[in-house]
Structure 1
Amino acid sequence: MSDVPSKGEIHVVHLYPREMSIYGDLGNTRCLASRIRRHGYTPVVHQHHPGAAFPEQAHLVVGGGGQDSGQVRVEADLERIADRLRSLFDAGTPMLMICGMYQLFGNAFITVEGKRLPGLGILDVTTQGNAKRMIGPVVLDTEFGDVVGYENHSGSTTLGAGQAPFGTVRAGHGNNGTDGTEGARSGNVFGSYLHGPILPANPALADALVALAAELATGAPFEPLAQDDAFADEARSRQVRRLVKRG
């Protein structure tokens, strides 16, 4: 495809890849760059670190999971760039926030020790840290079909009234292990606890994010190219069959 003109640049911003990417969530950024390229666009990936200037162009923003200490380390910088992130949200910029960053995009995260970390309030969720972790493979029912991944979190997240979840739990714990919800979605911002990383195993979700970003970046409809996702589809189907035996 090197001889084919690019359909345009799509700028992807990865928030805090050192502090908030300890569960392999960097794979989401790499997956997006690959999918963007395979659809005929040019990916431009930026890493945003605490204290750095936020990139001028941002068509897609991603963030990953981390320990409570990692969340504390990025708290001040997140407050510094909060207005920019909120303006991107208002403009319809697609964002995918996993685990720790999902929590920080909510109203607040309360650590096990009782320390309250205020969030951005983009997602109407509140998270309470617990001593017991929720760990294991997950299957969700979402608007993108079955979505699979792996959760590993001690935070118990509650959705505010009217806040839509990302998906409904078919297997696993989800937000809190009790209400059957997983993650949250407001506009084009998605929050989820699913690692894996989530996007390589769920190409429909990856392409939905790429489509939103491409339209934002170019001002034109997304022009997808056919993809061979046989391996990802088979892996996802196997997890669904293994975990949802009574479905």
Structure 2
Amino acid sequence: MNIYGDYGNALVLKRRLQWYGYDPVMLTYDPGDEFPEAPDILIGGGGQDSGQDRIQQDLLDIGQRLHTLADQDIPMLMICGLYQLFGHFFETREGSRISGIGILDAETYGTDSRLIGNVVAESSEFGRIIGYENHSGQTYLGVQVTPLARVTTGEGNNQKDEHEGARYRNVLGSYLHGALLPKNPAVADFLIGTAVEQRFAEKLPELSAPSSAPLSLNALTDQARRTAASRPR
């Protein structure tokens, strides 16, 4: 699934890996494909209810494999629709349930309210996270996960608490589109750094924009973050 620019998250990881001196291989996965043998990073995007219906059975079929990878601390980023299905279930407004795979201890319920607009959230690990939400499903976290961040502008997971996203080990779930990673390089470099350490038993020189990046990179990123954070919802 890929809406609201979520494919941009994969493109960011590929380019930043190149800047760090690696030669990344980016694979796509569609229902029915052979699942990669030893992935280093997994990225998933958002989709409407109809898209979730189409991928549901395949996701359940590979669910145990994904659980194993999660417990091996493989870094993952799941956005919106796949964030919901990495939880226990998504219950539509009509009361039907789309089963999830339960990597994230979370439940999602469809509502008549649409949560839409730019979001600013604070994370103790990643600093300020900025993105764009557009969802009517509202997600509630259980005790086995922690929120990805605390919302200061916008709604995030739901209209009752200040949580945005969820984290279990190195699995990150978020409602933020935009895409998320271009405006949040700290999150991108967390995924990259974790994957590099696991694959090669080495650390990146520093988890920030590499010296080989264009000189304007930080300025453009900062400008995009400031613009998004200042726009009214």
Residue 189 of structure 1 corresponds to 171
SS in 1 for 2:27: strand
TM-score, with length taken from structure 2: 0.92
1:203–1:229 CA contact under 8 A, matched in 2: no
Match of 1:236 in 2: 225
Aligned-pair CA distance for 1:241: 4.8
- Aligned equivalent of 1:40: 21
- By how many angstroms is 1:78 displaced? 0.4
Q: Structure 2 unaligned runs (5+)? A: none
Residue of structure 2 in register with 1:64 after alignment: 45
3-state SS of 1:215 partner = helix
Match of 2:30 in 1: 49
Query: In structure 1, what residue type is equivalent to 2:19?
Result: R
The percentage of aligned residue pairs carrying the same residue is 50
Matched to 1:218, the amino acid is F
Are 2:197 and 1:208 equivalent residues in the alignment?
no
| Pick aligned residue for 2:127 from 129, 145, 153 | 145
CA contact (8 A) 2:46 2:82 kept: yes
Count the aligned residue pairs: 225
- Distance in 2 (CA, whole Å) between partners of 1:129 and 1:168 is 22
Deviations 1:92-134 (CA, angstroms, capped at 9, x unpaired): 0000000000000001111122111121111111000112211
Q: Is the alpha carbon distance of 1:242 and 1:135 closer, same or farther for their aligned partners in structure 2, counting shifts above 3 Å?
A: closer
- Whether 2:97 is the aligned partner of 1:116: answer yes
8 Å contact 1:25–1:196 — kept in the other structure? yes
Structural mapping, 1:67-146, within 5 Å? 67-142=48-123, 143-146=125-128
Secondary structure, in 3 states, of the residue corresponding to 1:33?
Answer: helix
- Measured in 2, the distance between the counterparts of 1:221 and 1:22 equals 33
Q: Which residue of 2 aligns with 1:17?
A: none
Aligned equivalents of 1:88 and 1:223: distance in 2?
A: 26
Q: Kindly state the Cα deviation for residue 22 of structure 1 after the two structures are TM-superposed.
A: 1.9
DSSP-derived class of the 1:204 partner? helix
In structure 2, the residue corresponding to 1:85 is in which secondary structure? Answer: helix
Shift in Å at residue 70 of structure 1?
A: 0.3
More strand by proportion, 1 or 2? Answer: 1
State TM-score, norm by structure 1.
0.87
1:169-180 matched pairs, under 5 angstroms: 169-180=151-162
**Any gaps of 5 or more consecutive residues in structure 1?**
1-19
- Any idea what the Cα deviations from partners look like across 1:126-158, whole Å, max 9, x if unmatched? 000112211011001012111111000010100
Please list the CA deviations of residues 8-66 of structure 1 after superposition, one character each: whole Å capped at 9, or x if unmatched: xxxxxxxxxxxx10221000000110111111111110101101110112000000000
Residues 171-218 of structure 1 deviation map (CA, whole Å, 9 limit, x = unaligned): 001100220111000100000000010000111111111101111221
Matched, 1:155 2:137: yes
How far is the alpha carbon of 1:234 from its aligned partner? 2.5
Instruction: Give how far 1:85 is off.
Output: 0.6
Q: Is the 8 A contact 1:134 1:152 kept in 2?
A: yes
